[in-house]
Amino acid sequence: MLAPVSAAATGVRVITLTPEFEIFSLPSGSQPERMAIEPVTKTVWFTARGLGAVGRLDPENGEVSLITLGSGARPRGLVADRAGRLYALDGALNAVHQVDMATGDVRRFDLRAAAGYVQLMHATIDQRDHIWFTGYRGVYGRLDPATGDIRMFDASSGRGPHGIAAGLDGRIWIASFASDTILAVNAETGMHEARTLPRHLNGPKGIAVGAAGAVWVSCARGGSIGRFEPRTRQWSSYRLADADMRPYAIALDDANRLWVADETQPKLLRIDLANGGTEELTLPMTRPTMRHVLMDESALWCAASGSDKLVWIKAG
């Protein structure tokens, strides 16, 4: 289990950029927020928040195409199901857009009747292909695409539901930024238990669940990473060596390493969870505003919202 680690003990070193690193430019003003990967073609889909669209990037040739979602759309969260459909969360229109990846057809699920305005944030998908999503105004929800049924639940933590991830044990985990808590949601009933973060862990945004069930949380205000073990209900933490780093997006790879993106600087960290050793990668861009990292086999994709770019990095 991780314990607090000092800067001197982390063994931070800078990774020199290599050819196994590629930056893809998107249309100006795209503001990519979230990504999803088509498993067969490896096409990368993303929410183009600034253009009111979802985008498609072909990594082979860098070509980008857009599917617009309607007047006033501002899509943010994104997740894909096993049937080849995308689900884009739109906070401006208070709706979930379902997009067929093959045809580009769009269907809209309106939340106004079920919940009113909820300030939609991010989404995940459970083992039954139900779409779970967070609303920063203090709710989370579940959409059954097969029936169109939408169920909303109040978060006991109040305002702040942000990052969301599905575990293999049937639970949905939510990071609540404003209240410094995480929620463990029963995917069958929708009911949840709240777990308060230790005092030195503040501002949880990103969340990831390991294969063994441990829950990892990026703490943007505290410059730390928290680890919660559901079996023992114990917390441990890893304090980042760079005191100015504001961790946001996180992802786990198959080599038991945690990738962490900085929201304010062009930096990525790769932390070896076995020994706490850390490697740092500085990207050649200014103010990238990285809010999502996504593993695809042995590669990492990063959405740089502030720079209108997607970044591919060989993870090995």
Question: Which domains are assigned to the chain?
Answer: 1-29+197-316 (2.130.10.10)
pLDDT digits (tens, 9 = 90+) for 15-37: 554 548 899 999 999 999 999 99
For the chain, the distance separating the N- and C-terminal CA atoms, rounded to the nearest angstrom, is 23
Radius of gyration in angstroms for the set of CA atoms belonging to the chain, rounded to a whole number: 18
pLDDT of residue 146: 94
pLDDT of residue 1: 33
pLDDT of residue 191: 97
- The pTM assigned to this predicted structure is 0.93
b/e sequence 15-46, b meaning 16+ C-beta within 10 Å: eeeeeeeebbebeeebbbbbbbbbeeeebbbb
Q: Which residues of the chain have pLDDT under 50?
A: 1-11, 17, 19
| CA distances from residue 174 to 2, 184, 312 in whole angstroms, order as listed | 21, 7, 27
pLDDT of residue 252: 95
Question: Do β-strands 139-144 and 149-154 pair in parallel, antiparallel, or remain unpaired?
Answer: antiparallel
Residue pair 197/180 in contact by the 8 Å Cβ criterion: yes
CA geometry: angle 302, 246, 249, nearest 5 deg: 30
Q: What long-range pairs does 280-286 form, CB within 8 A, spacing at least 24?
A: 280/12, 280/13, 280/14, 280/15, 280/242, 281/14, 281/15, 281/17, 281/313, 282/14, 283/23, 283/311, 284/17, 284/23, 285/23, 285/309
- The Cα 196–Cα 275 span in angstroms is 26
pLDDT of residue 286: 87
| CA distances from residue 166 to 57, 172, 186, 187, 265 in whole angstroms, order as listed | 26, 5, 10, 9, 28
Length of the chain in terms of residues written: 316
pLDDT of residue 211: 87
